[in-house]
Structure 1
Amino acid sequence: MPLRYTRTKFAKRTSSTVSQADSLSTSDSTLADDTLSKPQFLSGDTALSVMITTTSITRELADLCQFPPVRAAAGMILVILKTAQDVQTNRSECYRLARRCVSMLVDIKDQMDGRWESAPTSLVRNLERFERTLESINSFMAAEAEQKWHQRLLRKSMIEEGLARFHAELDDATRMFQIATLISIHYSIGDGPFGTASRINTESERLPVYPGKTRSLSLSSESSSIELVSSPASITSFSDSQSYVEITSECETLDTSSEMDLDRAIVDAVPAAIELNHHGFRRYHKSEIRLRGRSKIKSGWWSGSNKAQVDGRNVLVKHYDGRPNKWIRDVKLLQNIYHPNLPQMIGYSDDETPTPFILLANVQMRLPEALVLDAIQNSSLQRCAQVLFRFYRDTLDAALYMQRQLNLSDTKLQDYVEHADYRIDGENTLIMGLPPPEIDTWVSFRNYGLVHSICSQYLKLLPNSGHAPLPEDPTDEREPALQRKIAHLTVLAKALFPDEEDPATLSERLDSLLDEDDDEELEDLDRRPLTLRQIRMIAIKAKKHNHTWRPNTIPAHRFRVGDVGWVPPGKEFKDMEVFCNVLDNKMAKLDVKESALGWQGAWVGGFREKRDMKPIIFPNSIFGWPVIVPPGTKQDLQILHEALFASFGDGWQFLLEHGKSLANAYGVNPEELILISCAGTDQIFGANDHRRDPFEHLQHQSRGIGRSPHMGQAHFHHRPEPTTLLFLFSSPREDHVPSWSDSPMYEAGYEPRFNQCTTSIGCSEVLRD
């Protein structure tokens, strides 16, 4: 935070000296040992959905276990289901995988019930292969459930690829069943009494009968149009359509009984296939959508979204009124991204729908600000910090995934992150909406990286927009306790957000906080979660907790570095009561450093010019400042003397370790203690040269870039006035009075007389002529 100073007018021969005092203070629970509450993330809707899914799958598996040919596979799915209950992050995906396995077993049971004695050998082998696939799925889930949270985070992409691979293996198993069936059909037709079939065509309409010696026969049967595409995001749909099989043979004709047997064999052997058109996403007609209420989102990418119900499932439907190009762009993007923190598309409208739409699995949507404010008002400070840190982690993970999938540059990725529309779903998971289409044509430049873009997004969610100069603001209408909570949350967020140098890896200090939120990580049931004191210590050890509160100006030399005190209720910081100085009584060994800074400025040609000044150091903490005053100019000077801790984190650590004993000794609460970590004076001086520059009129005429003010005309009877060299002496000592001199050597009580300029100490008072 920038240090703010104000200037105060003083009487003649007194310095306009203003003191700054930076303080360190703890929050309401910084020094307390009370354990902060542990958040729970399983919502009521999620628990109900999991219970319904588990119940339906278990009921179907109970029926399958009574069917001997698939009893082993059904038992393996029960083991998978039990293992999925121990999974935390990808539980819904594991349930979906188990549901697909159950659906395949149910289809096999329905088709082969009562005919297993005559089942082909190839079909039995494919079923055994399916059982082996189930065993590998169970082994994979069990191994991942036993891993630590941070290990699964580092292997997050590998886990997602593993789940997608098992979906692909299930698709392969389905295709192997179909290939084995078609091979059996070919062999059965070739070995039958009617000879070898020369052609089998599946068409959408009946073909005409061609004349000639060959007799053709058309058979119609109920089956599904088949177009298989391997995709982990598959939607099951059974829509039957009429298909016709034309069998042409040049050898023998078929009698009626043979025709019916062949028809029945094909229908029984080829079950209803899964329609997986358009990269594994189903297309819906508007008549299949049942809307549930009106849209409350009026802006951003989520605008126009309504809750709806499709096939008994709650979804979110997003309409595109008069924007087909945007609909096409979003569909193409969502077909290529699959991430828990990005919109999950499950289907989209067909060509007959006048207003295009997409269906999303994310149902309940609210703003991240709502979740942050709710946590600030109703949860502990640790919980509030975890919410912000989880937002950062999920956004970074989704952004890096999108960069890999869409091949985005670093600059374009920052455009996406800064202009995306963020929402929170029913499970308090952050969902990063897609950016507007026009962003693809933008050309932007930044002097900061992705981490800064993400951190600034979530610091702006705080009520103070990420600025905390003081724990309490008298002009703020919120309760003082709530103000302190927001201020300390801002300090913790800035201290614990990862560094810019390593954006792809979550820092250990942040990882340790988020690990505490997983029940499976608590191996010791008696272990207490992190307290706010421990969180601060994590930041201090990482040398990131260097924040100080910066109050408004106070009287000069009012406090010293190392003072400990408190502000009584209803008083301001300048009225702080000092209990002791921890440096004087040897309670703390804190390094203190001193600094002296100076600046000289003036208005030249309507522009402000300012330069740094370097002092001459004299004994007894006296500093001499050379001042060059051109003729006809007015110069102002600012001198800043400071004494401060070498590390503000050491001051925080002292309060954490000794604050409770100090508070008990002086009868105050630990969170009310204030430690002065920086004190100094901010002094303003002036020098005004009354001489007139003889070339002033030429300076106005020829002033410009690259042009000299004295070019063009010669003045034989005028010589330029020399500049005046003055010396200003200042000191951080309280008993020292600042003084001007025409000599570079400091002499106490020396009073020079300037004939051509006046000097001042203070904003406007003239000290000497």
Structure 2
Amino acid sequence: MATLIHIHYALGDLPLRVLHAAPSATSAEESGPAPPYTPPAGEPEARIVSLDESVTVSAVSPSRLSSTGTASILSLATSTSEDFVLVEEKVASPTSIYSLDDDHGYTRYHQSDIRLRGRGLAAAGWWSDVAEADVKGQQSLVKRYDGGEGRKVKDWLRDVKMLQNLYHPNLPQLMGFSDDETPTPFILLSTGRTRSPSVFFLNTMQMDTLAQNVGTVLRFYRDLTDATFYLQRQLDLPDDKMQDFIENSTCRVNSDKTIVLGLPPLKDGNWMTYRNYGLTQTLVDTCIKMLPRRGHLKRFGEVDDANEPEFEEKTNHVNALARALLPSASSPPTLSSQVQALLGEDDDDMLSLRKIRMSSIRLDTHQHQWSVNIVPPHKFSLGDLGYIPPGEDFTSFVTLHNVLKEGMASFDVAQDASGTQWNWKEISMGREQLQAFDLPFEVKGWMMQLPPHAQIELQIIHEAYLSHVKDAWKFLLDNGRKLAKAHNIRPEELILVTRVGTDQHFNIQDINPPPFPGHQQGGFGRQPQFGGRAGQPFRHQPFGGHGNHFMQPPTLPKIFYLLTALNAEHEPYWSTSPMTVPKGTSPPALPRGYVGRLGRIYGLMNYVQLHEEDFKG
């Protein structure tokens, strides 16, 4: 299979000739291959790495913004693979190796024509060697190629040949390049002043509306996807090679608020990359990581001294809406028709936050909910509607209504319980999932086996939640203004509880003393027998008739049950019976030598809350 670099050397209708590492005289006279590139004869479509070869393995785990699980990537580089080289690179002259068969109409510049005006635009990546410059009185960008003689020539030739045949508004636009007499090769780009996407969004979060920021993210994704499809057509790249291109490139934002994708670095050798995610996820990740905090959503109470609370709140909404409106990992890369219709608004002022949120609700992707780390247990009920007084936290939450109990709304509700167990002495084995069984009064039973003289830890989580969180968002959009006015508060202060739960730890321990060495565990009061003369007529006494304490039967694990519930009226307890005791009855005590403990209980809570911009207009 042709690598990305092989394809780079065989772009478009370039008149340059491409040869294998050992070119023949006849092949040097042939014209360059027309796209798509055809591998040289004898080169297999897929190369299998031999164990005899030297192999470099690198693993990377990029952050997954979707709910599809952990994404991973594995790259293999074989040191014995032959590289593709150009005929011009075989020439020994240090000046002639810069020569091109055809300038394709581009202007050649000497180093004296360029006056640099600053340092590189970025700390790393393709843009790190790009700086602002004056070129014969005009502002431009110049990318210089420093380094070893062979490396800088290869990088320069690759970039010139590629950019000569790429014409897309979201890719670097080539204006010209250095002549044969320039010791340090360079190229000139028409892109004006640029900023990194992260710096760009830090500024727009403060200057633009929330809706405008969401629209910018969606436009960046649309343009990046369009550039991706263009590159795939021009370079004949499959999805996996296109992922290599994007993930190894860096982006900049120019003065027109246009995203510009740089080129990936040139790699030596044959590279094979394996991922458990597709092109859509790569594109979404690239855009999400441009946002402040790389798209991370903060929980209530997480403080960043560098930013104001209003900035953090705005950033959270933008990050959540961007994730909801961008395609899922299992979808094609293109935006949905509804999202594209949003971007069809010619005037940014026409793009309101309410329109954006309603589009997400109609797409059934607006499932985000804010979360709180720890709240008082059993303080909140599913469907509680209220607010937090200024300067307070959720411990001071004021409940105004319960929209479910009062019939103000009808939501689909579900309950769930999960549990894990582990032994600290064998923690390296990990935690084991527990399976609950149902009991009357919404009680859950958890069976576990306690080995002799061991202590087992358990964590049990109960929760009740709305099956479709989008319904809660729509309820606040439709009723928030009216309900807030009735209680003399702002509509964006209203909080609707969408999930409640408890998280509690337990443990049970066998504190019985271990048996004495040589003790035979038989019937009550039985004493060890020696010499085989009494006490065990049916058991063979080996080794001269002495009792063999090495053959004593092992003690079996003891079965216990933990009975828990989300309901605050049910007090969890340990038992040897899988049945609950009647209400008002104390649970039976555990057998002597066993101790069951109830750990501290924590409350869990999720909620939805709109932004003040939702109620403008």
Fold agreement, TM-score > 0.5: yes
Residue 569 of structure 1: CA displacement? 1.0
Matched-pair contact (CA < 8 Å) for 2:197–2:291? no
What does 1:527-542 correspond to in 2, within 5 Å? 529-542=350-363
TM-score relative to the length of structure 1: 0.57
Matched-pair contact (CA < 8 Å) for 1:292–1:308? yes
Change (3 A) 1:294 1:762: closer
CA distance in 2, matches of 1:715, 1:467: 61
Matched-pair contact (CA < 8 Å) for 1:498–1:510? no
CA distance in 1, matches of 2:366, 2:313: 17
What does 1:259-274 correspond to in 2, within 5 Å? none
2:446 is matched with 625
CA distance in 2, matches of 1:609, 1:353: 62
Residue 723 of structure 1: CA displacement? 0.7
Deviation track 1:508-552 (CA, whole Å, cap 9, x = no partner) reads 232122111369xxxxxxxx7232112111101111111111112
TM-score relative to the length of structure 2: 0.70
1:318 is matched with 143
Change (3 A) 1:693 1:324: farther
Residue 501 of structure 1: CA displacement? 3.0
CA distance in 2, matches of 1:319, 1:753: 78
One-letter amino acid of the counterpart of residue 447, structure 1: N
One-letter amino acid of the counterpart of residue 224, structure 2: T
Match of 1:302 among 127, 149, 169: 127
| Residue 278 (str. 1) matches residue 115 (str. 2) | no
CA distance in 2, matches of 1:484, 1:496: 19
One-letter amino acid of the counterpart of residue 379, structure 2: R
Change (3 A) 1:664 1:606: closer
CA distance in 2, matches of 1:610, 1:647: 30
Q: Secondary structure at the match of 1:585?
A: coil
**CA RMSD, 1 decimal:** 2.9
Q: Secondary structure at the match of 2:360?
A: helix
Residue 309 of structure 1: CA displacement? 5.0
Change (3 A) 1:440 1:329: farther
Change (3 A) 1:668 1:604: same
Matched-pair contact (CA < 8 Å) for 2:115–2:135? no
Residue 332 of structure 1: CA displacement? 2.1
Matched-pair contact (CA < 8 Å) for 1:648–1:677? yes
Change (3 A) 1:382 1:370: same
Q: Secondary structure at the match of 1:321?
A: coil
Change (3 A) 1:581 1:367: same
CA distance in 1, matches of 2:501, 2:318: 28
| Residue 370 (str. 1) matches residue 199 (str. 2) | yes
Higher relative contact order (CA 8 A, sep 6+): 1
2:117 is matched with 293
Unpaired segments of 5 or more residues in structure 2?
A: 1-11, 13-99, 518-547, 602-617
2:569 is matched with 735
Unpaired segments of 5 or more residues in structure 1?
A: 1-163, 165-275, 520-527, 697-713, 765-769
Change (3 A) 1:690 1:445: farther
Residue 571 of structure 1: CA displacement? 0.5
Match of 2:435 among 610, 614, 621: 614
Q: Secondary structure at the match of 1:632?
A: coil
Match of 2:490 among 652, 656, 669: 669
Residue 296 of structure 1: CA displacement? 4.2
Percentage of pairs with the same residue: 39
1:758 is matched with 595
Residue 666 of structure 1: CA displacement? 0.7
CA distance in 1, matches of 2:279, 2:438: 44
Match of 1:724 among 558, 567, 580: 558
Q: Secondary structure at the match of 2:449?
A: strand
Residue 568 of structure 1: CA displacement? 0.7
Matched-pair contact (CA < 8 Å) for 1:281–1:348? no
Deviation track 1:569-624 (CA, whole Å, cap 9, x = no partner) reads 11112211111111121111112111222222223545143222222322211222
Residue 288 of structure 1: CA displacement? 7.0
Q: Which protein is richer in strand relative to its size?
A: 2
Matched-pair contact (CA < 8 Å) for 2:210–2:353? yes
Change (3 A) 1:426 1:609: closer
What does 1:490-505 correspond to in 2, within 5 Å? 490-505=319-334
Q: Secondary structure at the match of 1:680?
A: strand
Q: Matched residue pairs, number? A: 468
Q: Secondary structure at the match of 1:553?
A: strand
Change (3 A) 1:279 1:500: farther
CA distance in 1, matches of 2:235, 2:344: 31
What does 1:337-736 correspond to in 2, within 5 Å? 337-438=166-267, 441-470=270-299, 473-517=302-346, 529-603=350-424, 605=426, 607-690=428-511, 716-736=550-570
Change (3 A) 1:593 1:347: same
CA distance in 1, matches of 2:589, 2:132: 84
Change (3 A) 1:474 1:362: closer
Matched-pair contact (CA < 8 Å) for 2:252–2:259? yes
Change (3 A) 1:343 1:328: same
Residue 488 of structure 1: CA displacement? 0.7
Q: Secondary structure at the match of 1:534?
A: helix
Residue 657 of structure 1: CA displacement? 0.6
Instruction: Determine which structure has more spread, i.e. the larger CA radius of gyration.
Output: 1
One-letter amino acid of the counterpart of residue 485, structure 1: K
CA distance in 2, matches of 1:688, 1:297: 62
Q: Which protein is richer in helix relative to its size?
A: 1
Change (3 A) 1:359 1:632: same
CA distance in 1, matches of 2:304, 2:392: 14
